[in-house]
Amino acid sequence: MVATLTRILGVSHLSLAEDAVQDALVEALRLWPHRGVPDNPRAWIVRVARNRALDRLRRRGNWATKAAQIAHTLESLHEEDDTPQFASELRDDQLRMVFLCCHPSLGRDSQVALALKLLGGFSVAEIARAFLAGRAAVAQRLVRAKRTLRQGEVDFSIPSPDELPARLAPVLEVLYLMFNEGHGAHEGDSLVRRDLCREAIRLTLLVCDHPVIGSTEADALAALLLFQGARLATRADSDGDLILMAEQDRSQWDRAKLRQATLLLARAGRGERLSTYHLEAEIAGCHAMAPSYEETDWHRILECYDALHAINPSPVVSVNRLVAVGRLQGAAIALAAGDRAGDWSRLADYYPALVVHAELLAENGDSGRARREFSQALELAASRPVRRHIERRLAALSLP
Amino acid sequence: MAQFLMLLHDSPTDFEGMSPEDLESVIGEYVAWRRGLEERSLLVGSNKLEDEGGRDLSLVDGQLRVVDGPYSEAKEVLGGYFLIEAEDYDSAVEIASGCPHLRYGPRIELRRVDTSVH
């Protein structure tokens, strides 16, 4: 709805669009309990929001300059709002909003904050919690981002076909980040923030399904998110404690998501380009489609990591690859490979890498060093479920 | 059976800072509560009052004084009412206590309609 209002009012009035939708929602809240819910609630909100926004513009004295523009758009906004047509207009407005939030003139942090606010409908407080930033800092970031868009005279449109590949890349990155934040939830008490994950999946599918914007990279990302998303219910137990993949109850994995993911991965494979999303989706698929942990296709996973490392030789990819090496060739070989590549030292501040290192050491019989790595990881890990998990591993290694 | 008037008071900061998603779910709560009243045949009537344009009348030195108000920016403004049926205050309180307004608004005033025969 904010997206539709933004289309009507223009990018320079983003805040006005947001406030107008907010006002309309409160008005609905006060009125519908007495009058009942209208047949097309979304259309009602948009119409009331539009009128509120126009009121404000009129009062500000902007009316004269905006009159012609807005009058034209007023006419094009159907009063009747047939559901299918309205729904497809809404979807296109959402996509325009996706591209706006991920505009290249904005830094990554601003893109993510803006996407969460305007697309995900998160409040400033919720965004601040998700990224462990102060509320004032997030509010300021949003203000600056909108100012940047205003001053850049960015328009509210779906990029042209030749602009599309460049404009799509940040969109996919932002959605990937959003999902990862919800999936790993590196800070705080709960391991999974379902709403972030759900929102990331919804928006990615929106991109995939669009005839012009859709691409094999988007399909691959969607497959990746759905494979991961299918397992969300089993990542943590009722106490909020971490459950490792080897111990997750696979019967609880969401079959529908897995099916959808498999179809999208197949569709992604029809392109000519192999992106990192393709490979990560393939890896996630290997895990998600294995009937049991013991039957996981580690060979295929290692192949994918080799290809991934060739495109993106980051230490994080390296370390994840070593987990597969460990499964196939044993902990000793994996440890040696990590030592040779200098992976462990390069990631001394990244607690997941320390945990991988610790597990390999423990498997190799070196409890002393394993305990030291776990202790180091404990210093760095901020989320309670992860900390509790590491403490349990430390306790297990301290037994005589 | 008696009738009770539930007067819902609003304040301008009631829904400040709430996300659109949260607001949508609150709308659902209010609508569901009202539907519950209808299903139990407890609702006699209800209305929202207009936000602006109220008038306050008084006599000052014998002269009629009409003042605009209250304004929605005021701390507490009467927003709307529900007229319900209940046996007694205890039942009425029980019904009113389920209203989401207790969680989101400043207060609900509950008054029995006087049907005494003198």
Write down the H helix ranges in chain B. Answer: 20-39, 89-97, 101-104
- Please report which confidence band the pLDDT of residue A212 belongs to, taking 50, 70 and 90 as the band edges: confident
B27: closest CA among A30, A34, A18, A1?
A: A30
In this predicted model, what pLDDT tens digit does every residue of A93-138 receive, in sequence order?
Answer: 888 999 999 999 999 889 989 998 898 888 888 888 777 788 899 9
For residues A111 and A101, the answer to whether their CB atoms sit within 8 Å is yes
A2: nearest CA partner in chain B: B20
CB contact, 8 Å: B48 with chain A?
A: yes
And the tokens for B101? 């307004």
Chain B nearest-CA distance from A22, in A, is 7
Query: Coil, helix or strand for B82?
Result: strand
A386: closest CA among A190, A248, A227, A180?
A: A190
d(CA A324, CA A299): 8
A276: closest CA among A315, A246, A313, A248?
A: A313
What is the phi-psi region of residue A192: left when phi exceeds 0, alpha when psi lies from -120 to 50, beta otherwise? beta
* pLDDT exceeds 80 at position A313: yes
A26: closest CA among B17, B99, B102, B5?
A: B17
d(CA A64, CA A150): 20
SS3 content of chain B, % helix, strand, coil (to 5): 30, 35, 35
Contacts 24+ apart (CB under 8 A), B13-20: B14/A26, B14/B104, B14/B105, B14/B106, B15/A22, B15/A25, B15/A26, B15/A29, B15/B104, B17/A123, B17/A124, B17/A125, B18/A123, B19/A121, B19/A122, B19/A123, B19/A126, B20/A1, B20/A2, B20/A21, B20/A22, B20/A25, B20/A121
- Please report which confidence band the pLDDT of residue A67 belongs to, taking 50, 70 and 90 as the band edges: low
Count how many residues are written for chain A: 400
C-beta atoms of A25 and B48 within 8 A? no
Cα angle, residue B17 at apex, residues B16 and B22 outer, rounded to 5°: 100
And the tokens for A253? 């994995």
* pLDDT exceeds 80 at position B118: no
* pLDDT given at position A92: 85
Residue, of A37 and A81, whose pLDDT is higher: A37
Return the residue in A30, A48, A127 with the most chain B beta carbons within 10 A, the one to mutate for interface testing. A30
A159 secondary structure, DSSP code? P
C-beta atoms of A25 and B10 within 8 A? no
Partner residues linked to B77 by β-bridges:
B10
Query: Coil, helix or strand for A252?
Result: helix
**Structural domains of chain A, with CATH:** 320-400 (1.25.40)
CB contact, 8 Å: A9 with chain B?
A: no
* pLDDT given at position A191: 58
* pLDDT given at position B21: 85
A155 secondary structure, DSSP code? -
* pLDDT exceeds 70 at position A51: yes
- Percent of chain A residues topping a pLDDT of 70: 91
How much is the ipTM here?
Answer: 0.89
* pLDDT given at position A186: 54
Query: Coil, helix or strand for B45?
Result: strand
B5 secondary structure, DSSP code? E
C-beta atoms of A124 and B17 within 8 A? yes
Query: Which of A29, A34, A122 lies closest to B23 in CB terms?
Result: A29
SS3 content of chain A, % helix, strand, coil (to 5): 75, 0, 25
d(CA A349, CA A43): 50
Q: What is the mean pLDDT of residues A26-36?
A: 94
List chain B domain ranges: 2-112
Q: What is the mean pLDDT of residues A157-163?
A: 86
User: From 3.30.70.1060, 1.10.510.10, 3.40.50.2000, 3.30.43.10, which CATH number describes the B2-112 domain?
Assistant: 3.30.70.1060
And the tokens for A141? 């970031």
* pLDDT given at position A349: 85
A56: closest CA among A83, A32, A95, A23?
A: A23
A18: nearest CA partner in chain B: B20
For residues A306 and A312, the answer to whether their CB atoms sit within 8 Å is no
Q: Which of residues 107-136 of A touch B (CB under 8 A)?
A: 121-126
Query: Coil, helix or strand for B83?
Result: strand
In this predicted model, what pLDDT tens digit does every residue of B56-83 receive, in sequence order?
Answer: 899 999 999 999 888 777 788 999 999 9
Number of A–B residue contacts, CB under 8 Å: 55
* pLDDT exceeds 80 at position B18: yes
* pLDDT given at position A79: 46
A123: nearest CA partner in chain B: B19
